[in-house]
Amino acid sequence: MRYSQKRMATTPNKAAADKVANQNVAQGFVYLPLIAGWLAPGAGHFLIGKWIRGLLIASSVVCMFALGLAMHGKLYAGAQDILDLLGLAGDLGNGLMYFVGRTLGLGAAPVQVTTADYGTKFIVVAGLLNVIAAVDAHNLRTGRKAS
């Protein structure tokens, strides 16, 4: 009786603990796909070997951002009111593309035509889609999403 209790109390627990320890070692820095995916669209999926998904995400987000700039959309630079703050938050989702665009002085002209307003929305939505994709890469990395 004592022997069986001992086995039940230790062996399965040890096996489970070993499994968790092995998973933790294998996972490493689990936020890397999240950060990489935010900085460069699709990079989070590339890091975990989802090449086609990463390519589709990268092409979608980059094309949307580039079309937004081509339509003379605005890159939000500051937050004068709450709507600007929301726009800035969306734009920041583009990661490095936003900072490079700001550095090059893109999207700085005032919005004067309708298509420029479409472009501004394209840029904001590209950032939001990029955040969704980065979180998806993180979920794949942690195992919260199966595949």
Which CB sits closer to another protein, 89 or 118?
118
> Which tokens belong to 133?
């994709």
How far is residue 140's CA from residue 147's CA, in Å, rounded to a whole number? 6
Residue 78 CB, shortest distance to another protein, in Å, is 24
Residue 60 CB, shortest distance to another protein, in Å, is 4
Which CB sits closer to another protein, 5 or 114?
114
Residue 103 to residues 38, 83, 107, 108: CA-CA distances in angstroms?
18, 23, 10, 10
Residue 5 CB, shortest distance to another protein, in Å, is 41
In degrees, rounded to 5, the angle at the alpha carbon of residue 38 between the alpha carbons of residues 36 and 41 is 85
Q: Which residues contact 1 (CB under 8 A, 6 or more apart)?
A: none
Q: Which residues bind another protein (CB under 8 A)?
A: 53, 56-57, 60-61, 63-64, 67, 70-72, 113-115, 118, 121-122, 125-126, 129, 132-133, 135-136, 145-147
Which CB sits closer to another protein, 12 or 143?
143
